[in-house]
Structure 1
Amino acid sequence: MTELMLKYFRDKQGAVQKEKVYDSQCPFCSMQCKMQLIEQTVVSRKIHKTIGKDNPTSEGRLCVKGINAHQHALHRDRIKQPLMNIDNEFVPISWDTALEVIKEKFTKLQTKHGNHTLSVYGSASITNEEAYLLGKFARVALKTKYIDYNGRLCMGAAATGANQTFGLDRGFTNMIQEIPNTRCIILAGTNIAECQPTIMPYFEKAKENGAYIIAIDPRETATTKFADLHLKNKPGTDVALANGILKVLIENELIDKAFLDSRTEGFDAVEAQIASMDLNEIADVTGVTVDQIKQTALVFGKEESGMIFTARGIEQQTDGTAAVRSFLNILLATGKIGKPNAGYGAVTGQGNGQGAREHGQKADQLPGYRSIENQEHRNYIASVWGVDEEELPRSGVSAYEMFEKIDIGEITGMFIMCSNPIVSNPNANFVKEAIKKLDFLVVADLFMSETAQLADLILPATSYLEDEGTMTNVEGRVMIREASYPIQGEARHDWQIICEIAKVLGKEKYFPFQSAEEVFEEIRVASRGGRADYYGITYDRLRKERGVLWPCPSADEPSVHRLFEKSFAHPDGKAQMVAFSHQSEVAKPTPSEKYPLLLTTGRVMSHYLTGEQTRKSPALAARHVEAFIEIHPETAEEYGLKKDTLVKVESEFGWIVVRTKWTDTIRKDTVFVPFHWVETQNVNRLVAGELDPFCKMPGFKVSAVAISPVTE
């Protein structure tokens, strides 16, 4: 080999520098899969690859979103310095200037209109530490009652339903590892195969072990194809369907009378109301045959163990709480909870959908899942925060209702963190116009989202690769997300941003934190004795045990793997059963001559929420470049729609234009549009602003629409 060739190979070898490995956690769904980013520098070019890391929940698995998550975190469009809107142009400014502007504007607005003129809109994608601080910031630094978060649009019904029935809301009542050993599983409105792919092996193992799986969904999905029985009900008829299943269970004496007598309240009233219902009428209402309803009930009732999992399909409705509680009635009636391989799972959507709702972002909550209206709870949190209890605001309103307050001028300023409400809220056109009325809007985010484009000031936040903190996953397991990647530009962690704004507002002594761990230490104290008790959890313990399931009141106690073995969380120790009629308290959209079809919405595997992050990943954007409408071929032909052509979809509240996707796997009276796109493809423009009376969940899953071909 010549000297020249040797030099070539030495130079090539030297060009590959020592690789760097960064531990992290997927920023997307609630599985919160552990991962590592491997970075190699070849000459002057950095090459990245993400691999899974073993952990108790997803066991090292990653889905397509996790594998490509780094592409958005390292994207050239990241906001890397504060931007101020001057004459409709965003101009870079210093952090000092940005903070002074916030101080001036917030102070001026509150002096003129009072404390409650300011509002805070949070997120279920931020860490526990940041969710906790955001709630404290609103109530202590701003002294406003107006705070809520985008998780209201995701987990509101499941959380309220579990709290009302069980007295406690933790994602899963059992460990995820019990799923393979259960005998019958009902998946109500959840497409886990595409929304939480890394959980699927648990269900696949259950099926291998002989479990019978029932999926409830108006569409045929990867999940329903996997099931043994698919109940293709009409959108919005889940309460009726659950009532029909319970009726068959009662009439065939497949209920656990001893469990009902000793562990529940209200069954007699439920039984009486169910007895008055007609199964044939239920079949007509739901579009599910009497035989299918009976088959579901008989299989679930006769098996020794069973689990029910609910998700957005039945929850994102104006009777979502009623739907969740109706399925929990089935679980309680058969005694399948608080026992091995038997229980309930709310399949959380966002990455920290569980933890974000436990520590104070919701309008009516204080840390530890305490109530802001409970005097004892108020006194305790006030003592932890070092403030007078009388200074703590009372309950505000839900996420969507805050935009109604903006519309009438009651709210004039808003601070939004890690959320894109213009796209994610119902009646999206109204929300956009309301936000335009704000006197001052501050947005902290990674990118120039549709909401950020309307801001007066944008603050650059750090990504999941850079921002350390804890997240609480789908099963209620608190996990520490390690993050050590170099911060991009002048971006700052969300918890730092909150503390720095509090400082310029003169509230520094309440926000003295220098690390995420310091914030977590205060969470431990603030949550102590609450329903979501984290007191026994520390960063050291999380690292040693690779996560801890709450409640965990003491460092000496192990994780609580199974809830409700001896009693429920209500004061009397019993679960509360209530029957609901087929008619929602809030009127649902129904087909009419003008709007003859039902529209339902959902996800595709390659995208997440409003798509602001996933569309920045080329590998993900290439899989689904635009929104579409799933429609049955016979329905399409009836309305003169051809395959793969543009169609106008219109409701009472707005219109969008999307491309047709023919499929005979959807009901003929129903169409489906995913919700990850914006502007004229934003399906939430079509959704009404009506809300569930219990949890204030909008009715995303049922809208009445008209369709017509786009000719130009």
Structure 2
Amino acid sequence: MTEMLLKYFREKEQREQSEKVYDTQCPYCSVQCHMQLIEQRSVTRKSYKTIGKNNPTSKGRLCIKGINAHQHALHKDRLTQPLRKIGEEFVPVSWEEALAFMADSITNIQKEDGHHGMSVYGSASITNEEAYLMGKFARVALKTKHIDYNGRLCMSAAASAASAVFGMDRGLTNALEEIPYAETIVLAGTNIAECQPTIMPYFEQAKENGALIVAIDPRETETSRIADLHMKIKPGTDAALANGLLKVIIEEGLVDPSFIEERVTGFKEVKEHIASLDEGEIVEKTGIPLKDIHRVARALGQKETGMIFTARGVEQQTDGSMAVRNFLNILVATGKIGKPSCGYGAITGQSNGQGAREHGQKADQLPGYRSIENDEHRTHMANVWGIEEKELPRKGVSVFEMIEKADRGEIAGMFLLCSNPVVSNPNARFVKQALKKLKFLVAVDLFKSETAQLADLILPASSYLEDEGTMTNLEGRVTLREASMKAPGEARHDWKIICDVARALGKGQYFSFHSAEDVFNELRVASSGGIADYYGMTYARLREKKGILWPCPSLEHEGTSRIFEHAFAHPEGRAKMSVVPNEPPVKKEKTCEDYPLYLTTGRIMAHYLTGVQTRKSPSLTARDFEPFLEIHPQTAQTYNLPDGTLARIESRRGSIIVRSKWTEKIRRDTVFVPFHWDEKQNVNRLVVDDLDPNCRMPGFKVSAVKVETL
């Protein structure tokens, strides 16, 4: 009888089981893998699985984060209604009450502290439409100059370097499909195998084709494993290493004279500077043997094709912008730019790290990569937005400088969207203290993050499964992220929240959008004629082509796969080389007797940014449930630090406790801690808050610390 009942219920469940498919894109890294979430429903339960969809970038591949991304979106802790802090508790309120409270708070701040008393802190994980609206909201609804975004902590060095050398910044100057045919590939400070694993096959194919692959990193990583040569560099000396490579290239006549003559300025000054440098000093400074410098330089100079890729290891330094410029000097001097399988790639970190920096979230920027200080650009945007040019604020300051202004009382309010500055910024304890001084803080998020817990008001946002919009991947390929799942409870899309707040402030006539596509159509017009020109893209075209590489100036244009083929983006059409010193203008923190080790930080495969999303995923948390201190065994023994035990790491700014992890893959003078965990184990509490003078990037990669066992 029991068997008959079980059989009956099994058959009934099969009859009543249904399946729903959600097309979407991964919410994590900048590859933007296309995928489907399949929801299988029966009478008793729901189950989910994720499969990859074919696309031009990752060819249907997914990594462990993408496969499990739905776990955070479906998590029980998702915010589903607005929360207002009453005393020390968060109390649910209606949207009407939340918007009225927000409008009153902002109005009072503007009366007492002026328009610039309010600030906007954006994100590189939101859609292009939402990034565009953030910039418009700050300048039109709030009339404040104080807007910047968390991509300042990620992409600002590479973006400023490419703009200075080439005249424009697009993540990759070539499409990914050209990588397999490059004969020399330099991966400087980038761990693609763990951070963007679904594009690793491009590099593996290049290796199979005979390419020399060089990894520059103070520690061995999954990426350095495929390299023919691993240059285990001393932290913070990338600019000097690039000078060493450039010295060999120039002095051995491995430059491209005709390319320099026709398309480059500044080579003469760089050549004179390089002649004054001593190879022995560069070897001593970087820790890289001279024979390795010669090998890589000759490969870059002698081979017909070559590409250089940089990421946070090079860029998150107080001379990150100039270090990247020096690697670009190498490409320009050897003529390896604007040609097949020759070019530069800034390996973007966040999901929309490229698009989010193109359309107005940066302190000095207007949509289409226009400058807020350029009168012609200001007039264009004023016309699009229907305001007077004189009403547009001028440029503001970087995110960390906004926090410093909050600490000094110069900024009294902040609208924070999809970011967690208490964990992501350097000197994180100071950041928390500064944000507590604000008169009003509103956070828009999926969860009650470490920063949201400080807010006066939290507004519930929608996830990647629910929020349609465009994203721009690391190539500069604009894709349409479909999203059809219903948001939980009263959660709203970010673009709608921005419009709702604007209406509450009496600025609704400038934000009368009814869909993400409405916003995109205005963005197209706003970007038209700019460096990042999206005008020729529509939702229909993006669906049809599965993405289009910008610039795309007309509806007949197919997009631009390779940039700089005939000219650079400077007015005279030439690339600009510049002299880069071995020592940065802002001195990096040095080790000493009290703090004898270099601390560097970074990412690991299972987690993303400050971990707010990935730490809600059981499958990802099970892989890496706590941070660790990566340390060389000999170094550990010097400080009596057994493997696998709790250790205190201390800098001049504070201390944290994490578990030690012995490995011979790291330099003996360096330790590594990933940054995906919350306050008590947040390595950014230890990081120095000096900023790059060119791009205002903090120096995450070089801090002096000491370690001890508990």
TM-score range, shorter chain: over 0.9
Establish whether residue 612 from structure 1 lines up as the match of residue 606 from structure 2: no
Map 1:484-633 → 2, pairs under 5 A: 484-633=484-633
> Deviation digits for residues 423-477 of structure 1, max 9, x if unmatched?
0001101100000001110000000100000000000000000000000001000
CA distance in 2, matches of 1:516, 1:434: 34
Aligned twin of 2:405: 405
What pairs with 1:297-312 in structure 2 (closer than 5 Å)?
297-312=297-312
Letter in 1 for 2:88: N
Equivalent residue, structure 2, for 1:21: 21
Match of 2:246 in 1: 246
Structure 2 counterpart of 1:477: 477
1:317 and 2:287 are equivalent in the alignment: no
Task: Tell me which residue corresponds to 1:7.
Answer: 8
- SS of residue paired to 2:223: helix
- Paired position in structure 2 for 1:292: 292
Aligned length: 709
3-state SS of 1:336 partner: coil
Are the equivalent residues in 1 in contact too, given 2:14–2:42 (CA < 8 A)? no
Partner residue, 2:146: 146
Partner secondary structure for residue 658 of structure 1: strand
Letter in 2 for 1:546: K
Secondary structure at the aligned position of 2:655 is classed as strand
Which residue does the alignment assign to 1:350? 350
Matches of residues 68-217 of structure 1 in structure 2 within 5 Å? 68-217=68-217
Report deviation, 1:4: 6.0
- The offset of 1:665, in angstroms, is 1.0
Distance (Å, rounded) in 2 between the aligned partners of 1:291 and 1:627:
36
Q: Distance in 1 between matches of 2:146 and 2:448?
A: 24
Q: Secondary structure at the match of 1:204?
A: helix
Preserved CA contact (<8 Å) 2:443 2:458: yes
Query: What residue is the counterpart of 1:375 in the other structure?
Result: 375
CA distance in 2, matches of 1:345, 1:521: 29
Name the residue aligned to 2:423: 423
Q: Distance in 1 between matches of 2:79 and 2:4?
A: 48
Matched, 1:662 2:682: no
Q: Deviations over 1:467-526 (max 9, x none)?
A: 000000010000000000111110000000000000010000000000000000000000
Offset at residue 7 of structure 1 (A): 3.5
| Secondary structure in structure 1 of the residue aligned to 2:381 | helix
In the TM superposition, residue 8 of structure 1 has moved relative to its aligned partner by 4.1
What one-letter code is carried by the residue in structure 1 that aligns with 2:584? S
Q: CA deviation at 1:271?
A: 0.4
Partner secondary structure for residue 707 of structure 2: strand
Q: Which residue of the partner structure matches residue 704 of structure 1?
A: 704
1:214–1:4: structure 2 CA closer, same or farther, 3 Å change rule?
closer
Q: Secondary structure at the match of 1:570?
A: coil
For 1:396, the equivalent position in structure 2 comes to 396
1:247-293 deviation line (CA, Å, top 9, x unaligned): 01111111101111111000000000001111111000000000110
Give 1:19 shift.
Answer: 0.1
Match of 1:365 in 2: 365
TM-score scaled by structure 1? 0.99
Helix, strand or coil at the partner of 2:352? coil
- SS across alignment from 2:541: helix
Q: Which deviations, in whole Å up to 9, do the C-alpha atoms of 1:531-587 show, x marking residues without a partner?
A: 100111111100011100000111111111110011000000000000111110101
Distance in 2 (alpha carbons) for counterparts of 1:286 and 1:571: 36
Distance 1:85 1:183, change over 3 A: same
For the residue of structure 2 that corresponds to 1:513, the secondary structure is: coil
C-alpha distance in structure 2 between counterparts of 1:108 and 1:557, whole Å: 48
Find the aligned partners of 2:366 and 2:5 in 1 and give their Cα distance: 70
Deviations 1:139-188 (A, max 9, x none): 00000000000000000000000000000100100011000111110000
1:693 corresponds in structure 2 to 693
Q: Deviations over 1:282-317 (max 9, x none)?
A: 000000000110111111211110000000000000
Helix, strand or coil: the match of 1:622?
A: helix
- Secondary structure of the residue aligned to 1:444 is strand
- CA distance in 2: counterparts of 1:519 and 1:70, whole angstroms: 26
Q: Deviations over 1:40-81 (max 9, x none)?
A: 112231101111111000000000000000000000000000
Q: Does 1:677 align with 2:674?
A: no
CA deviation digits over 1:356-375, x for unaligned, max 9? 00000000000000000000
Q: Secondary structure at the match of 2:416?
A: strand
Matches of 1:653 and 1:697, distance apart in 2: 18
One-letter code of the match for 1:101? F
Please give the alpha-carbon distance, in whole angstroms, between the structure 1 residues aligned to 2:513 and 2:10. 51
SS in 2 for 1:630: strand
- Per-residue deviation, 1:15: 4.0
Q: After superposition, where does 1:219-298 map in structure 2 within 5 Å?
A: 219-298=219-298
CA distance in 2, matches of 1:5, 1:392: 70
| Equivalent in the alignment of 1:647 | 647
**Deviation, structure 1 residue 3:** 7.6
1:62 aligns with 2:70: no
Gaps of 5+ in 2: none
TM-superposition CA deviations, 1:7-41 (whole Å, max 9, x none): 3443232242x200000000000000001000011
Distance 1:459 1:9, change over 3 A: closer
Supply the distance in 2 between the matched residues of 1:653 and 1:564 (Cα, whole angstroms): 44
Aligned partner of residue 19 in structure 1, secondary structure: strand
Query: 1:9 and 1:448, CA in 2 relative to 1: closer, same or farther beyond 3 A?
Result: closer
Take 1:127 and 1:432, find their aligned partners in 2: how far apart are those partners?
Answer: 27
- Partner Cα separation in structure 2 for residue 8 and residue 320 of structure 1: 63
CA distance in 2, matches of 1:467, 1:325: 37
Q: Which residue of 2 is the match for residue 443 of structure 1?
A: 443
Letter aligned with residue 704 of structure 1: A
Counterparts of 1:454-469 in structure 2, within 5 Å, are: 454-469=454-469
* TM-superposition CA deviations, 1:109-154 (whole Å, max 9, x none): 1011110100000000000000000000000000000000000000
Q: 1:7 to 1:648 in 2, by over 3 A?
A: closer
What SS class does the counterpart of residue 488 from structure 1 fall into?
A: coil
1:36 aligns to what SS in structure 2?
A: strand
Amino acid at match of 2:13: K
Which amino acid letter does the alignment assign opposite residue 11 of structure 1? K
Q: Structure 2 CA distance, aligned partners of 1:257 and 1:218?
A: 34
Q: In the alignment, residue 500 of structure 2 is paired with which amino acid?
A: E
Alignment partners' CA distance in 2, 1:545 and 1:665:
43
Q: Counterparts of 2:492 and 2:510 in 1: how far apart (Å)?
A: 19
- How does the TM-score come out when normalised to structure 2? 0.99
- Rounded Cα–Cα distance in structure 2 between residues aligned with 1:663 and 1:248: 33
Alpha-carbon distance change, 9 to 67 in structure 1, aligned in 2, over 3 angstroms: closer
Code of the residue aligned with 1:418 in structure 2: it is C
Q: Residues of 1 paired with 2:45 and 2:122: CA distance?
A: 37
Q: Following TM superposition, by how much is the alpha carbon of 1:5 offset from its aligned partner in structure 2, in angstroms?
A: 7.3
Q: Distance in 1 between matches of 2:548 and 2:595?
A: 49
Where in structure 1 do 4 or more consecutive aligned residues deviate above 4 Å? 1-6
RMSD: 1.0
